[in-house]
Structure 1
Amino acid sequence: MLTFIGLGLYDKNDISEKGLSFIRSADHVFLEGYTSRLMGTTREELEAFYQKPVRLLMRADVEQHPGELLDCAARGNTVFLCAGDPMVSTTHADLRIRAADRGIPTAIIHGSSVVSAVCGLSGLQNYRFGKSCSVPFPQAHWSPTSPLDVIAENRALRLHTLVYLDIQDGRYMTANEGIGLLEGMARKKQVTIPLYIGIARAGSDAPVVRAGTADALCSMDFGPPLHVLVVPGELHDMERQYLERFAGLC
């Protein structure tokens, strides 16, 4: 049996009671550490909380070499943990398909996700979001502009865009860096992004939410990770009032 369990947004206490009971009764516990992270805890704290050893998996372990994980699931109760909600990442959908192909029963225990958290923190209506995108750290001879294309398409439809920021080898892109990269793309394509929303540490006791122009937000200190951006489309009056009240929009 392979059970996918979402851990929520920030620390060990975000998990549901159902998810915790499944972990504590599992024969094997795996934690993926590449699509997102629980910044309010450590693996050692999770092991103490779960009363179980936790094996950390990185991208290659899940996407290219999932054999050991699937072998464990074929023999006994195995849980696959990730921050947020398990099926927001298509990688995890692929893993569930692989398990099904081997005849391994699967189940999902959902957790809170940044996809819904940004709506509560920003006041933007969830049904007014279009396709999301990700901003990667630039590499030598590779600097994609596809995130800007997604934003432009959404804005043409008056829709908001959730922008994920890259995580690489313990390096976490900040809202400031993400805005800087998007502004660079915008200059190349001669387009303008009039408004950004930066959100830091969603799910923590002290999240930061700020709305403003690129110049205004790039000078701000959003504090420790994780950060995410939203590029709004056309704002409803209620959305604008919410941003003015809770995100400092002028």
Structure 2
Amino acid sequence: MLLVGMGVHGAQGLPVGAVEELRRCDRVLLDSYTTPIDNIRALKELRALLGTEVKEAGRDELEDVQGLLRSASAGCLGIVIPGDVFVATTHDAIRQEAARSGIEVRIWHSSSIVSSALSRVGLHIYKLGFIGTLVAGPPQTAYRAYFGVTGALRNSQHSILLMQHDPASGEGIDVGNGLRALVEAESSWRLGSFGPDRIIVIASRLFSESESVRVLRLSDALDMDFGEHPHTIIVPGRLHYTEAESMRAVLGVPQELTDAMGIVPRSLAARLAGTAIEKSRAALPKFRSSIPGSPGVNSVLENVESYLSDAERFLGEGNVELALAEAGYAEGLLDSLRLLGYAGIEW
């Protein structure tokens, strides 16, 4: 069995050695399932390049691993895969079963959108921090991508978000709906990862004749039509100065946008601490005015004030865990007064 990555440039980007091996295969398939491409054009180019018949293999054929193994047992089976060979887990499953069956597997790696997208837009690949896929479904399906991007941004790293798209069934998600799912996650978690001013890159149909790269604010991208699939969303972290220079020189990105890239979101603990401080601060005067003065109660309220002051100081210093603990102590004291019947205040 021969697994060959076609790379990001189509059949013309195949290595010479891979072409020679494919020509010796008894059967050659083109994977049309794991990556959306122009299948008609790719088949035409492969047939012309190899001088042999090449058939399209969709999901059913690629997931029929036993059928592929039978074909490989009868003679050399070549599978040409857009991008790199094992970016999609489908092909690793084929390799595993072939190994268990004693079938030799030869591999030709190639370029992938994962390795090429960042460098195409001027970003450093070693600063890649998260890769995820946005899929159609309920809002919660975007949570993994939301927190993955959040973690990368905190480390000044970049994120790549691929878009689900099945050309055969038409199932998948477009850029607008993918971004709206992330905005909805933002409304739930409020960490600042996908606010309206977040700078993103929408890379559409990269390395094709209709390639489009747009660098813009999230709010401007929500209702924009980016055309046909495939699309990739890149969320840049803080830029190295050479990345900023490259984006300005190669893509013509205004300095206003490169300077604004990579705004670091708050941590969940920081948001919780801030909310706890805010609510306790608002409730404290109500407790003071509702409870008759007594040495014991006054001492409790003074402790609440001290805990809140410490929490605010720790939060300002970036000691989020201590801020959350101090705010929790303040909340607990106020709750104890309410539960003991000193005040009927809901907060």
Q: Could you state the TM-score of these two structures normalised by the residue count of structure 2?
A: 0.64
More helix as a share of residues: 2
SS at match of 2:129: coil
> What letter is aligned with 1:248?
V
SS at match of 2:130: coil
Q: 1:83 to 1:103 in 2, by over 3 A?
A: same
The alignment's C-alpha RMSD in Å is 2.4
More strand as a share of residues: 1
Write out per-residue CA displacement over residues 35-70 of structure 1, whole angstroms, 9 at most, x where no aligned residue. 20333753642463233333333334334x211111
> What letter is aligned with 1:242?
S
Matched residue, 1:115: 114
Alignment of 1:21-36 (within 5 A): 21-36=20-35
Write out per-residue CA displacement over residues 184-231 of structure 1, whole angstroms, 9 at most, x where no aligned residue. 222222233222111112122452212221122335443332111111
Matched residue, 1:188: 188
Find 2:232's aligned residue among 216, 228, 241: 228
- Distance in structure 1 (CA, Å) of the matches to 2:252 and 2:202: 9
Is the CA contact (8 Å cut-off) linking 1:30 and 1:54 kept in structure 2?
yes
> What letter is aligned with 2:185?
M
Find 2:143's aligned residue among 135, 138, 145: 145
SS at match of 1:7: strand
SS at match of 1:87: coil
> What letter is aligned with 1:77?
C
- Distance in structure 1 (CA, Å) of the matches to 2:156 and 2:140: 30
Q: 1:183 to 1:128 in 2, by over 3 A?
A: same
> What letter is aligned with 1:199?
A
Matched residue, 1:248: 253
When the two structures are aligned, how many residues end up with a matched partner? 247
Deviates more, 1:69-78 or 1:18-27: 18-27
Point out the structure with max Rg over C-alpha: 2
**1:132 offset after TM fit, Å?**
0.7
Find 2:222's aligned residue among 212, 218, 221: 218
- Distance in structure 2 (CA, Å) of the matches to 1:40 and 1:95: 22
Write out per-residue CA displacement over residues 118-170 of structure 1, whole angstroms, 9 at most, x where no aligned residue. 1222111111011310000226x974421112111212222111111101224
**1:74 offset after TM fit, Å?**
1.7
Question: % of aligned pairs identical?
Answer: 22
Alignment of 1:41-60 (within 5 A): 41-42=40-41, 44-46=43-45, 48-49=47-48, 50-60=50-60
Write out per-residue CA displacement over residues 83-121 of structure 1, whole angstroms, 9 at most, x where no aligned residue. 100011222122111111111111111222111221222
SS at match of 2:30: strand
Is the CA contact (8 Å cut-off) linking 2:201 and 2:234 kept in structure 1?
yes
